[in-house]
């Protein structure tokens, strides 16, 4: 049973049990108060009453590395950067585009969307200013494209602009985007969190390999309601932008504090009232309900396109090529490359138990990848319901049986033992345990591996614990479409997006999935302008991924933000950051009549 011993030797220990947070040692300007440290005095008489009501206190588990979303290293960078930078438009909760820096949303009727589907024209609001007083013009939109599309910059958002041929300023307030071909997804460039506009006069000297050296990445000039007061290792403090185009934001300061474990953040918002907002609380639902009983805050779940999924590696993470690449397309996995085995695993997992025990009202069991907007979701659910008997039958039919009575199926001297990795997080560790028990019940052994959050989601080509290296047999994480149009997201599953050593593991297809039929459907969807026909193509792609078990969807996950009951004005959307409408947030007196969800 060679595979067991090889794996035991390769994965000798579990990584860090505590959440390790990457901190930034650089500090920008130091106007105003600095980002505060997390409160530890949960037994204070009334932490909420002791706080300055004009300071908005927000809690995140990871510290921002940059405030330039186009150079983001993780969701925390988008969340913080969006407080300062803004796009032309963004989508509200139901997926409808609303103008932000744009005067109106382009349509065919107003002449903004070309009849041939090859261009779109945007008009900026009049009299826009950057926070340093310089005017915002169409040329800033042109420069943003130049910056994002420059390969020397290596922008994190470059994929959202790949369909663009050119961006032209027709005048100071009008910009025309021309696409390489007919493009149905014209709504993606310059919208949402991936579409923020950068000032040419600030970033032009850094439009190259020195992009990450710009001081403006930490102390940016933007158009948003706030500007940076200080950027330190523990977080960022923002102050009002006096040149903001709208009414002055209600909070004088925004204190973004980083480095809290999810439960500690939940306690400060839901139980003690020592903070106003906690981002995406990955805490077991029983603990959240108990903390909400204290009456200081509630959990606000926002369902969009996020799916917690189990990835199955179709390549062998132990085999190594002559160039030193593992999980290579050159070596198939001894059993996870078999669709019948993958189907068996899909039937073996009890999604209902995972949701009931861990997510509650912040998650829903799902068997499909494409969920929102609803009209794009498949009409029929792919039938991988919990059925351990069917899983057993499939594994036996595939030739995997227990020949030595040790409880583990085997074939040709290889035992069905897998290494299952995910990031250090209480909910994910419990998920690993449930799946471990599910698979043990059908004759598969699971070695659990836990990886530091920053390592697991790292884009560093040398970080072999990253999801794109995928040097394990299975891994779990959440991702999904961040635009109502799922073009970019579904493109991750095409053959040319496979993460390999040749592309420094920078491409998103860590499933190593490749199917020419899928690629043809995706290509057709790019140029199909009829919404219903296009939705049908998306549905067919989703069905094909399910049939091939390219991954196993587990939970339709909400972004579960903790919100203090005194904080009102939030209009959350799954298609932008939590901070997209922070200019509207305000404080009111606590309402004891408010009940928890």
3-state secondary structure 435-471: HHHHHHCCCCEEEEEEECHHHHCCCCCCCCCCCCCCC
Q: How confident is the model at residue 113 (pLDDT cuts 50, 70, 90)?
A: very high
Query: What integer pLDDT is reported at residue 488 of this predicted model?
Result: 93
Task: Clarify whether residues 55 and 94 are in a common domain.
Answer: no
Query: What integer pLDDT is reported at residue 596 of this predicted model?
Result: 39
What are the pLDDT digits (tens) for 354-411?
Answer: 999 999 999 999 988 888 776 666 666 677 899 999 999 999 999 999 999 999 999 9
Nearest CA to 484 out of 279, 84, 186, 115 is that of: 186
Asked whether residue 120 is assigned to any structural domain, the reply reads yes
Nearest CA to 278 out of 294, 302, 300, 249 is that of: 300
Asked whether residue 574 is assigned to any structural domain, the reply reads yes
Q: Is 273:557 a contact under the CB 8 Å cutoff?
A: no
* Helix axis angle, 516-527 to 531-547, nearest 10°: 160
**Total count of domains within the chain:** 3
381 or 567: which carries more pLDDT confidence?
A: 567
- Residues 164-184, mean pLDDT to the nearest whole number: 97
Domain boundary among 160, 186, 201: 201
Query: What integer pLDDT is reported at residue 520 of this predicted model?
Result: 98
Asked whether residue 218 is assigned to any structural domain, the reply reads no
Q: How confident is the model at residue 45 (pLDDT cuts 50, 70, 90)?
A: low
- The partner residues of 476 in beta bridges, in order of sequence, read 310
Q: Which residue has the tokens 């067991």?
A: 4
Task: Clarify whether residues 348 and 447 are in a common domain.
Answer: yes
CATH number of residue 182's parent domain: 3.90.76.10
- Residues 200-218, mean pLDDT to the nearest whole number: 97
Question: What is the phi-psi region of residue 501: left when phi exceeds 0, alpha when psi lies from -120 to 50, beta otherwise?
Answer: alpha
Asked whether residue 581 is assigned to any structural domain, the reply reads yes
Task: Clarify whether residues 344 and 467 are in a common domain.
Answer: yes
Task: Clarify whether residues 440 and 368 are in a common domain.
Answer: yes
Structure tokens at 162: 């790949």
CATH number of residue 354's parent domain: 3.10.105.10
Query: What integer pLDDT is reported at residue 37 of this predicted model?
Result: 39
Asked whether residue 1 is assigned to any structural domain, the reply reads no
Query: What integer pLDDT is reported at residue 374 of this predicted model?
Result: 67
Asked whether residue 23 is assigned to any structural domain, the reply reads no
Q: Which residue has the tokens 């969009």?
A: 304
Question: What is the phi-psi region of residue 484: left when phi exceeds 0, alpha when psi lies from -120 to 50, beta otherwise?
Answer: alpha
CATH number of residue 57's parent domain: 3.40.190.10
Residue 30 pLDDT greater than 90, yes or no = no
Q: Is 593:236 a contact under the CB 8 Å cutoff?
A: no
Query: What integer pLDDT is reported at residue 275 of this predicted model?
Result: 97
Angle at 104 between CA 101 and CA 108, to 5 degrees: 135
Task: Clarify whether residues 116 and 148 are in a common domain.
Answer: yes
Task: Clarify whether residues 382 and 525 are in a common domain.
Answer: yes
What are the pLDDT digits (tens) for 279-331?
Answer: 999 999 999 999 999 999 999 999 999 999 999 999 999 999 999 999 999 99
Task: Clarify whether residues 54 and 98 are in a common domain.
Answer: no
Task: Clarify whether residues 377 and 516 are in a common domain.
Answer: yes
What are the pLDDT digits (tens) for 435-485?
Answer: 999 999 999 999 999 999 889 998 889 999 999 999 999 999 999 999 999
Query: What integer pLDDT is reported at residue 51 of this predicted model?
Result: 83
Consecutive H or E run containing 227: strand 226-232
Task: Clarify whether residues 355 and 454 are in a common domain.
Answer: yes
Residue 95 pLDDT greater than 60, yes or no = yes
Asked whether residue 17 is assigned to any structural domain, the reply reads no
DSSP state of 538: H
Query: What integer pLDDT is reported at residue 498 of this predicted model?
Result: 96
Residue 160 pLDDT greater than 60, yes or no = yes
Could you list the residue range(s) of the whole structural domain that residue 283 is in?
Answer: 30-38+47-84+224-296+565-597
Task: Clarify whether residues 420 and 490 are in a common domain.
Answer: yes
Task: Clarify whether residues 516 and 585 are in a common domain.
Answer: no
Q: Is 165:494 a contact under the CB 8 Å cutoff?
A: no
Spatial distance between the Cα atoms of 363 and 382, rounded to a whole number of angstroms: 18
Mean pLDDT of the chain: 89
Asked whether residue 6 is assigned to any structural domain, the reply reads no
pTM assigned to the model: 0.86
Task: Clarify whether residues 242 and 336 are in a common domain.
Answer: no
């Amino acid at each position: 049973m060679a595979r067991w011993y090889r794996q035991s030797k390769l994965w000798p220990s579990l990584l860090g049990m505590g959440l390790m947070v990457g901190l930034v040692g650089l500090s920008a300007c130091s106007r105003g108060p600095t980002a505060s440290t997390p409160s530890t005095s949960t037994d204070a008489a009334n932490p909420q009453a002791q706080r300055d009501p004009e300071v908005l206190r927000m809690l995140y588990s990871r510290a921002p590395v940059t405030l330039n979303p186009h150079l983001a290293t993780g969701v925390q960078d988008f969340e913080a950067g969006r407080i300062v930078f803004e796009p032309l438009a963004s989508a509200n909760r139901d997926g409808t585009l609303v103008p932000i820096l744009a005067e109106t949303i382009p349509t065919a009727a107003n002449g903004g969307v070309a009849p041939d589907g090859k261009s779109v024209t945007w008009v900026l609001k009049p009299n826009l200013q950057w926070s340093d007083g310089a005017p915002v013009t169409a040329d800033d939109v042109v420069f943003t494209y130049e910056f994002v599309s420059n390969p020397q910059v290596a922008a994190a958002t470059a994929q959202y602009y790949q369909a663009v041929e050119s961006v032209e300023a027709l005048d100071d307030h009008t910009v025309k985007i021309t696409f390489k071909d007919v493009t149905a997804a014209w709504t993606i460039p310059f919208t949402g969190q991936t579409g923020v506009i950068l000032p040419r006069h600030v970033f032009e000297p850094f439009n190259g390999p020195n992009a990450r050296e710009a001081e403006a990445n930490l102390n940016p000039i933007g158009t948003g309601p706030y500007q940076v007061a200080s950027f330190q290792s523990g977080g960022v403090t923002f102050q009002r932008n006096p040149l903001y185009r709208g009414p002055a934001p209600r909070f004088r300061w925004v204190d973004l504090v980083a480095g809290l474990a999810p439960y500690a953040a939940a306690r400060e918002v839901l139980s003690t009232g020592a903070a106003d907002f906690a981002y995406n609380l990955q805490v077991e639902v029983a603990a959240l309900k108990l903390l909400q009983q204290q009456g200081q805050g509630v959990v606000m779940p926002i369902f969009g396109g996020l799916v917690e999924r189990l990835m199955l590696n179709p390549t062998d993470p132990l085999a190594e090529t002559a160039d030193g690449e593992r999980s290579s397309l050159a070596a198939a996995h001894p059993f996870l490359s078999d669709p019948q085995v993958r189907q068996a695993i899909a039937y073996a997992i009890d999604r209902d138990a995972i949701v009931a025990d861990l997510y509650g009202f912040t998650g829903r069991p799902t068997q499909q990848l494409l969920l929102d907007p609803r009209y794009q979701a498949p009409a029929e659910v792919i039938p991988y319901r919990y059925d351990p008997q069917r899983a057993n039958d499939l594994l036996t039919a595939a030739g995997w049986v227990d020949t030595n009575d040790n409880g583990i199926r085997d074939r040709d001297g290889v035992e069905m033992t897998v290494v299952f990795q995910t990031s250090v997080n209480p909910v994910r560790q419990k998920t690993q345990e449930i799946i471990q028990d599910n698979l043990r019940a059908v004759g598969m052994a699971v070695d659990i591996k836990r990886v530091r959050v920053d390592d697991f989601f790292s884009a560093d080509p040398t970080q072999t614990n990253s999801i794109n290296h995928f040097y394990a047999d299975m891994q779990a994480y959440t991702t999904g479409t961040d635009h109502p149009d799922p073009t970019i997201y579904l493109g991750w599953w095409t053959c040319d997006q496979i993460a390999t050593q040749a592309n420094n593991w920078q491409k998103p297809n860590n499933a190593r999935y490749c199917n020419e039929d899928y690629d043809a459907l995706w290509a057709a969807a790019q140029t199909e302008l009829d919404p219903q026909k296009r939705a049908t193509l998306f549905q067919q792609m989703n069905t094909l991924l399910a049939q091939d078990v390219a991954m196993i969807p587990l939970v339709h996950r909400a972004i579960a933000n903790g919100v203090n009951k005194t904080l009102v004005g939030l209009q959350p959307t799954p298609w932008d950051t939590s901070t997209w409408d922070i200019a509207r947030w305000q404080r009111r007196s606590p309402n004891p009549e408010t009940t928890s969800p």
